[in-house]
Amino acid sequence: MKHLPINPELFKANRRRFVSELPPGSIAIFNSNDEMPVNADSLYRFQQNSDLYWLTGIEQEDTMMIFFPDNPDLAYREVLVLVRPQELKEKWDGRRLRAAEARSISGAETVIWLDQLDSLLQVWIHHADTIYLNTNENDRKATEIETRDYRYARKMRALYPMHPFGRTAVIMKKLRSIKTPLEIEVTQQAIDITEKTFRNLLGFIKPGVMEYEIEAEIVAGFLRNRASGEAYGSIVASGDRARTLHYAFNNQECKDGELILMDFGARYGGYAADLTRTVPVNGRFTVRQKEVYNACLHLHNYAKHLLKPGITIVDYTEKVGEEASALFVKIGLISEADIKNEDKSNRAYRKYLYHGISHHLGVDVHDLGARFTPVVEGMLFTIEPGIYVEEEQMGVRIENNVWITKDGNTDLMRNIPITAEEIETLMKR
C-alpha cells in the first residue's frame, strides 16, 4: 500500500455494525475478488472486493472474513483468513501479509491460514442455523463474468443443501451507505489530494496541450501524495467531447477557445474522491461559456440546498429537473412551449441534462445505497449537474462531494475553486 496506516478502529467499527445486523444463529462468509487474467500469463492489477475491504482493510488476494457470533468456541466468532506466505511466490510477486501485520491493519484478533479453513468451517456451519453469503447486488451491475462470490455460493449450496441461505448484500447496502466520521476522515484525505492536483492543473492547462498530458499530471499528482492511484478512469474531455459522459480516449488536443471538462478523483486508503470541474483552455471564459457555466453552478448550489435528510433521490432529481427547466428557458436552450408539450417520461430539459444529479460515494465510486428511500444523516453523495449543448459543441459539469448532516449537508470539497472568477484568477497566475 502507498497510503499511511489507516486507524484500525474504522474497520473494527464496521464489523461491529455488521454483526449487530446478523440474525441469531447465523454465519456470514466474505470472499476476496478474483485475480483477473489479461492475456498470456499476465493479470490485471488486483482490486479487493469492496465489502471485504470495508470490513477488514486488507487489500491482499485470497482473503476471507468469517463471522459466527454464536460460535461455541469464542476464539472463532470473528475470523480473518489469509493465504499462507510462500517463498517462491514472494520471490516473484512480493511479500504477503503475516498474521501480526494483518491484525495491525484490520484490528481482527483471530487470523488463520486459508489451508486450515475447510476442516474448521465444516464444524462451524454444522452449529449454524443460516449461512449468509456475499454477492454484488449493485443496481448498475452489467457483467456476464461469474465472480468468486457466485461460484462460492454454488459450492456452499451443494455442500450444505439443508441449510437456509441469506444475502449479506441487503445488510451491506444499508450499512455502507452511512459513513462514520472515521470513514469521512479517510475520504477527506482522498479529496485533499484531488484538490491539490486540480490546483496544479490550473497552471498547466493551455492551448495546444493534449488531453493525455493532463491525464498524466492527474495520475502523477495522485501518486506523489500517497494515493493508490485513480478512483476511476479519469475523464479529460475538451471541446465537444465533453458531451460524452464517460469519455475515455483522452487523446485529443485542447484548443484555444474551448472548454475542458475534467472528472477525476484520487483513491486513498480504499476510499474514493469524485471531482468534476470545467475550465477554459485559454484561461478565460467567453460571455456565453460563462453564462452556461454559471447556470450549471446555480443548479449545483440549488441541488446542494435540497439534499438533506428526508428527501429521496428520486424526488430530489425531479426537483432539480424543475429548476433546470426554468433555467434552460432563461439561457435559451428550450422554450416555454417545449415544456408545455414535453413527454413527462422524457422531459424537455433532458436534451441538455441527460444523467442523474447525485450518487452514493465511498469505497466504490458508485457506492452502495438506496434511491427510493429517504436520505438519512451520514450518507455521502456527489452533486454533479451538467449542461451539454450539441449545437454549441460544449459540455459543462460541476461536481462536489457532500456528507449528509442532521439538518443539511457538509461540502467536503468546499475549499476547491468552483466559481468562474476563481478559476480564471488561478489560471491567470
Query: Mean pLDDT per segment of 10 residues, for the chain of length 429 residues?
Result: 96 98 98 95 94 98 98 97 95 96 98 97 97 89 86 97 98 97 98 98 98 98 98 98 97 98 98 98 98 98 98 97 98 97 95 98 95 95 98 98 97 98 96
Q: Which residue has the cell 511466490?
A: 89
Check residue 220 and give its pLDDT.
Answer: 98
Give the pLDDT score at 371: 85
Provide the pLDDT for residue 264: 98
What is residue 424's predicted lDDT score, i.e. its pLDDT?
98
pLDDT of residue 374: 97
Q: What is the pLDDT of residue 122?
A: 96
* pLDDT reported for residue 402: 98
Q: How far apart are alpha carbons 152 and 32 in whole angstroms? A: 11
The distance from CA 400 to its chain's CA centroid, rounded to whole angstroms, is: 13
Domain residue extents for the chain:
9-176, 181-428
Coil/strand/helix, residue 45:
coil
In the sheet with 229-230, reading across from the earlier edge strand, the strands are: 229-230, 266-268, 271-272
This prediction's pTM: 0.96
In angstroms, the CA 159 to CA 1 distance is 36
Between vectors from CA 82 to CA 77 and to CA 83, what angle results, nearest 5°? 145
pLDDT in tens, 186-202: 999 999 999 999 999 99
The topology under which CATH files domain 9-176 is Creatine Amidinohydrolase; Chain A, domain 1 (3.40.350)
Looking at domain 181-428, its CATH architecture is Alpha-Beta Complex (3.90)
Residue pair 15/78 in contact by the 8 Å Cβ criterion: yes
Residue 337 contacts by C-beta under 8 Å, 6 or more apart in sequence? none
pLDDT in tens, 313-336: 999 999 999 999 999 999 999 999
Q: What local confidence, expressed as pLDDT, does residue 141 receive?
A: 74
If you ran DSSP here, which 8-state letter would residue 234 be given?
P
How far lies 132's CA from each of 22, 152, 165, 303, 419, in Å? 9, 12, 6, 38, 49
Task: Point out which residues pair with 404 in neighbouring strands.
Answer: 409
- All three cell numbers of 150, joined, read 457466485
- Residue 182 has what pLDDT? 98
Q: Any residues with CB less than 8 A from the CB of 159 and at least 6 apart, and which?
A: none
Residue that is written with C-alpha cell 491482499 in the block: 60
